[in-house]
């Protein structure tokens, strides 16, 4: 009998936060197609989250929907309990929940208000959920945790958005490295530092931002949620068993000049 592929996630249970669409939704669906049962978390968009659940079930895998606003610590605790209690364990945790501070009415909010929400959801939510479920995973004998950072956090970017995301995602990246040490060797903890990924903001971005996104990637294109999902599936699987405590850029290769395809003068 052939041994199962190192990338299969059969018999595993995953929790994906922020999974009502975009990157989180793509990750949840990809994990299910690899064999995992998936807890789909959403902040408030039940309709979109149910569509993700439907795709998971169409792939032949069980799914559970949980709704909670991660700006509240008690809500994070409820999601942790619901996810663990569903099947008696969580093998994969993907912390994809993130505060939207770039679209809709959020753009008009002040710096302090946007920082507060970004910090509570992206940073404190990731820390609280990672610690709670990470300790349970360690006691159970294994697991994989993924967080989401930003490939620009270390080099910085001018403007309010750059300052906000550098502070929040830089904290997540630093926490990831420490949590990996706390939970080793049973649990692996890695971070995907995302570059220009075409989410709702990217689709509506100005021509200047569109040009910048393509110029700063050696791939000369926006990344897609599916690009991220493939990386997440790999890191969650046994194929990545010797990868731990890493911050891995998913950006097509960063080009600081934006001129990689131009000939020399």
Residue 188 lies in a domain: yes
Spacing of C-alpha 45 from chain mean position: 18
Q: What is the mean pLDDT of residues 202-227?
A: 91
The whole-number pLDDT of residue 4 equals 62
Closest C-alpha among 25, 16, 23 to residue 222: 23
Lowest mean per-residue pLDDT among 119-123, 158-162, 167-171, 230-234 = 158-162
| Domain containing residue 127 | 13-250
Residue 195 lies in a domain: yes
pLDDT of 65 over the 70 cut: yes
Q: What is the mean pLDDT of residues 118-128?
A: 97
CA pair distance 135, 132, nearest whole angstrom = 6
Do 96 and 24 touch, CB atoms closer than 8 A?
Answer: yes
Q: What is the mean pLDDT of residues 216-245?
A: 96
**pLDDT classification of 178: cutoffs 50, 70, 90:** very high
Residue 154 lies in a domain: yes
Quick check: helix, strand or coil at residue 124?
helix
Average pLDDT across the chain, whole number: 93
Residue 17 lies in a domain: yes
The whole-number pLDDT of residue 260 equals 46
Q: pLDDT tens digit string along 150-174?
A: 999 999 999 998 999 999 999 999 9
Residues, the chain = 265
- Long-range CB contact pairs, 209-214, < 8 A, 24+: 212/258
Q: What is the mean pLDDT of residues 10-21?
A: 96
CATH of the domain at 184: 3.40.50.720
pLDDT of 263 over the 90 cut: no
Residue, of 66 and 258, whose pLDDT is higher: 66
Residue 260 lies in a domain: no
Residue 262 lies in a domain: no
């Amino acid at each position: 009998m052939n041994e199962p592929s190192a990338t299969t996630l059969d018999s595993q249970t995953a929790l994906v936060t922020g999974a009502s669409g975009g990157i989180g939704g793509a990750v949840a669906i990809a994990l299910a197609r690899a064999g995992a049962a998936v807890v789909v978390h959403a902040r408030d968009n039940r309709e979109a989250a149910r569509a993700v659940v439907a795709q998971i079930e169409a792939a032949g895998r069980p799914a559970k929907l949980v709704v909670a606003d991660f700006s509240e610590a008690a809500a994070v605790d409820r999601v942790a309990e619901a996810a663990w209690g569903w099947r008696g364990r969580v093998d994969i945790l993907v912390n994809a929940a993130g505060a939207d501070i770039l679209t809709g009415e959020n753009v008009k909010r002040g710096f302090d208000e946007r920082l507060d929400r970004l910090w509570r959801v992206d940073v404190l939510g990731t820390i609280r959920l990672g610690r709670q479920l990470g300790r349970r995973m360690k006691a159970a004998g294994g697991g994989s945790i993924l967080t989401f950072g930003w490939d620009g956090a270390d080099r910085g970017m001018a403007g309010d958005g750059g300052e906000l995301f550098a502070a929040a995602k830089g904290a997540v990246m630093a926490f990831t490295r420490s949590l990996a040490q706390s939970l080793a060797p049973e649990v692996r903890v890695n971070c995907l530092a995302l570059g220009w990924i075409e989410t709702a903001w990217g689709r509506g971005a100005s021509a200047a931002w569109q040009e910048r996104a393509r110029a700063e990637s050696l791939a000369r294109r926006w990344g897609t949620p599916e690009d991220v999902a493939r990386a997440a599936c790999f890191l969650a699987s046994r194929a990545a068993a010797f990868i731990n405590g890493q911050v891995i850029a998913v950006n097509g290769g960063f080009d600081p000049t934006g001129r990689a395809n131009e000939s020399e003068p």
